[in-house]
Structure 1
Amino acid sequence: MAPKLEQVFTMRAFLSKEDTLVIGPIHGGSQRMIAPVTGGFIKGPGIEMEFTPGSSDWPRLDATTGVLHLDVRSQARNRETGDCIFVTYTGFIKLDPLAQAVMEWSPDARTTESSEHYFITTPKFEVSSEALKWMEQTVFVAHGHFVVPGDGTEAVEYEVYKVVSA
């Protein structure tokens, strides 16, 4: 029987337009970006963390296919308990018109639904808390979308699922 997915938490990471760097073309034409994470959270039953400074995304855009290859490294902390998490993930965003508007910080950008994109990642976690050690021994898949609150900020948000035996 095929494995199933069980939603376990949500991750939201706000990005900085002003501090995003665009480098390219590199290595045969792709374009590298460096997008600092300015805030956000990981929330769900038994977990509540805030992203801390130093988190960033280093995506590479393949303009010939319209695919953004994600390369993210982030850290988060629970301010009350001091528990920490390091999360890293790769994945893809197929740049449809809605995603393109967000990536360009267009005034037409809007909050989207995960069903509107092919935006998939595979996060891996390292944790300081014994209560969260299960995260280091679990395969996760995340389905992303964009959050545009209308205050000049933008975020990526993921519904994070653990893979469970059926």
Structure 2
Amino acid sequence: MRMYTSPDKALVIPEAKGNNHRIVAFLTHGNIKGSGLEADLLPGGADWILRDPDTNTGHLDVRVQFRSKEGHGIYIHFKGVLQIDEKWMEVFTGGPKARTLEFGENEWLGSPIIETSHPDLKWVERSAFVNALLKIGLGPSHTGIQHAITEIPVTWILDRDTQAASHGDSDFVNPDPLF
């Protein structure tokens, strides 16, 4: 999934909730390509980031909509966390030290919920996913963001602990899940 924003059109509200800052990054264009699906970003999507200046953690609230080549609608809403460090700010604001950040240079994880009218993709509405930032870079008039969205099957979670236990890897087993 690729999406683009224009930093000069972003809305920044310092101290929106207490000491936090609100950043609204309007998504101007983009697409989804993969797994037999191609779709274009429709207007109205944005990333509503609430930034904690004490920890430089951005709490993501992204809502975007796409239309497939066949005319089907796809809506993606994800919450997540982002480490807003100096490198990220350079790219987002178009600073003089801005450069493309590759996977692993920034922490950006989310959990998307997907809705669609596409009959062949209805399975996504009953599946769990994670998304991670693959790349963020500055273009001539926009910032480009590339994500990977990956399905997380329940069997993976169960198999992971079972396999670790059978190999005696007690550090890998999670006996006390968070929930």
Task: Pick the TM interval, shorter chain.
Answer: 0.7 to 0.9
| Gap change, CA 1:104 and 1:149, over 3 Å in 2 | closer
- Aligned pair 1:123/2:112, yes or no? yes
How far residue 91 of structure 1 moved from its aligned partner, in angstroms, is 0.5
Matched, 1:96 2:109: no
Give 1:106's aligned residue.
95
| Unmatched 5+ stretches in structure 1 | 1-10
3-state secondary structure, aligned to 1:18: helix
Cα pair 1:102 1:146 within 8 Å, conserved: no
Runs of 4+ more than 4 Å apart: none
Contact 2:45/2:64, CA 8 A, preserved across alignment? yes
**What is the CA distance between 1:149 and its match in structure 2?**
5.1
**What's the % identity of the aligned pairs?**
32
Residue 28 (structure 1) shift:
1.5
Counterpart among 26, 30, 44 of residue 54 in structure 1: 44
Q: Which moved more, 1:95-104 or 1:50-59?
A: 95-104
Indicate the residue corresponding to 2:6 in structure 1: 16
SS at match of 1:59: strand
C-alpha root-mean-square deviation of aligned residues, in Å? 1.4
- Identify, as 1 or 2, the structure richer in helix: 2
State the aligned residue count: 155
- Partner Cα separation in structure 2 for residue 150 and residue 130 of structure 1: 36
Distance of 2:46 and 2:112 partners within structure 1: 14
Structure with higher Rg: it is 2
Give a deviation string over 1:14-68, Cα, whole Å, max 9, x none.
0122321111212211011111100011111211111111111111110000111
Aligned to 2:137: 148
Cα displacement (A) at 1:151:
1.9
